[in-house]
Amino acid sequence: METTARKSLDGLFNGRGVAIMGASAKKGKPGHSIVENLRAAGFTGNVYPVNAASESILGFQCYRSLEEITGRIDLVVMVLPADDCVEAARAIARRKDGKGDISAAVVVSAGFSELGTDQGRSREKALLDVLVPRGIRVVGPNCLGVMDTYSGVNTNFDIGAYRRGGLSIITQSGAFAVSYLKWAEPGRLVGLSKFVSLGNMSDVNVVELLGYLADDDRTSVIALYLEGTRQGRALVETAAHVSRKKPIVALKAGKTRIGSVAAASHTGSLAGRFEMYQGVFRQAGVVLAESVIEFYYTAAAFAKMPLPRGNSICVLTVLGGPGTLCVDELVSSGAVRLARLSEKTKSELRAILIPAANIGKPEGFIDTTPSFTEAQHREVLKIVLGDPAVSGVIYLTTPPLFMDEDALAENIIAAYESFAPEERKPLLSVIGFGSSVPRLRNRMEEAGMPTIEYPDIAAKVMINMVRYSRYKSRFDEH
């Protein structure tokens, strides 16, 4: 990404002075939560709540206006009634003209172009006309703004601190992305890097953010929730380049037909917006999830697991039912095949497992039966992961109550870590009993091993990894 473009977006995340216009002393109000969450996120820069009616909020001294703030302001958050925002923008402009600081503004407030009214649209235009010509990047309006778990910058009124990791989120629905983070939180499924809720996307847009995150060393995976953009071609071209470096996992909302009025051609009638996105995202190597849960788990898995170096998958299960559901889904995709285990692998497994175990019928499918101890898990996983014909493994279990969760976790993790990092393959674990085995899941997640509750979703995640890996390998230098 070109330097000035990159620097202008740096201002969203690197600020050391954050002013909140519309800060509130009243708990429960967004203007209060934003201050609270900025502190909770571990921000060590200067926090300047702008509120004429209060002396201090949460221990931070209040200011009646931007003018009174002597320290440097990098980022301004606007959480004011819509009618007051344009005037607030003028105050930002005066400050910028005078002091030369302020590089970005996050407009949390609603009441702009999203209303679909002339008034809303003109209010938004007035806001931009004041800020943009001065080189101030605007996020929103009508958004949750930005988070950076490494710098501590956080304008999100719904989330304070969040565990750090390599997943960055770009979203056109703040609420949807927050749902994801909150869903993932108890199980420690996701570590967050940067978060941008774009709102009305009046200035800072999805295309430039994708380019920005491609070059961000702290982002290893980009999760994108998209409702729509007019810059479709630019989006696809940018995504195609970004995908060469790191995966973009997307969820696209809005499947309704674009309704070409009496399309004269078959092509016109068949060209639904979603169908076109499916095609162009395939073309650009973007992983397009078909459901919310697939999106959630795919992004989380990409952030934790290495990519498969082929498409041969081994399904290792303790029970037939979920194992079969998993195989059904894998095979029906056409993108993946079941691995042909070597004779060596099979005979090593036969030596460990009970005679009733099914080893390789069909090829690549192993049903250990529940007679499978914690310690045997370690040996078996090592053997299977070590077979050169295996590109990835899906392991399924519903651990019986008598099994020691900690011992089981230890053995699985030890087996996985017995391989050097550059030799490791993706291992997805389907833990059927979900939250009733929290210690098992938490330990595995902490060790970077995704635990998924659904056999069919685990299959979809693996298929996504295989497809993305195939795209990426077209561009890897050999």
Partner 1 sequence: MGCHEVVQRALKAGRKLLPEHEAYGLCGEFGIPFAPARLAGNWEEARQAGEDLGFPLVLKIVSPEVVHKSDFGGVLVGITSPADLRKAYDRLLANVREKAGHVAVDGVLVQKAMPRGVEVAVGGLRDDVFGPMIMFGSGGILIEVFKDVSFRMAPFDEEEALRQIRDTKASELLAGVRGAPPCDLGTLARLIVNAGNLMCRVPELAELDFNPVLAYPDGCVVVDARMILSA
- Interface contacts to partner 1, rule CB under 8 A: 228-230, 232-233, 236, 258, 263-271, 273, 275-276, 278-280, 282-283
CB nearer to partner 1: give 160 or 232: 232
Which CA distances in Å does 438 have to 63, 405, 430?
46, 9, 13
CB nearer to partner 1: give 6 or 273: 273
What pairs with residue 365 in β-bridges?
315
CB 286 within 8 A of CB 239: yes
Radius of gyration over alpha carbons of the chain, in Å? 25
* Cβ at position 467, least distance to partner 1 in Å: 11
CB 379 within 8 A of CB 454: no
Residue-wise DSSP of 211-232: HHHHT-TT-SEEEEEE---S-H
Q: Which of 441, 467, 468 is nearest to 452 (CA)?
A: 441
CB nearer to partner 1: give 44 or 267: 267
CB 236 within 8 A of CB 243: no
* Cβ at position 197, least distance to partner 1 in Å: 22
What pairs with residue 17 in β-bridges?
46
* Cβ at position 267, least distance to partner 1 in Å: 3
CB 164 within 8 A of CB 192: yes
* Cβ at position 75, least distance to partner 1 in Å: 32
CB nearer to partner 1: give 86 or 335: 335
CB nearer to partner 1: give 177 or 226: 226
CB nearer to partner 1: give 110 or 271: 271
End-to-end CA separation in angstroms for the chain = 25
* Cβ at position 473, least distance to partner 1 in Å: 13
261 burial level (CB within 10 Å; 0-12, 13-18, 19+): exposed
CB 209 within 8 A of CB 9: yes
What pairs with residue 226 in β-bridges?
252
CA 320-325-328 angle, 5° bins: 120
CB nearer to partner 1: give 87 or 275: 275
* Cβ at position 272, least distance to partner 1 in Å: 9
CA 331-335-337 angle, 5° bins: 50
* Cβ at position 285, least distance to partner 1 in Å: 11
Other Cβ atoms within 10 Å of 92 Cβ, number: 23
* Cβ at position 320, least distance to partner 1 in Å: 30
* Cβ at position 248, least distance to partner 1 in Å: 16
CB 258 within 8 A of CB 232: no
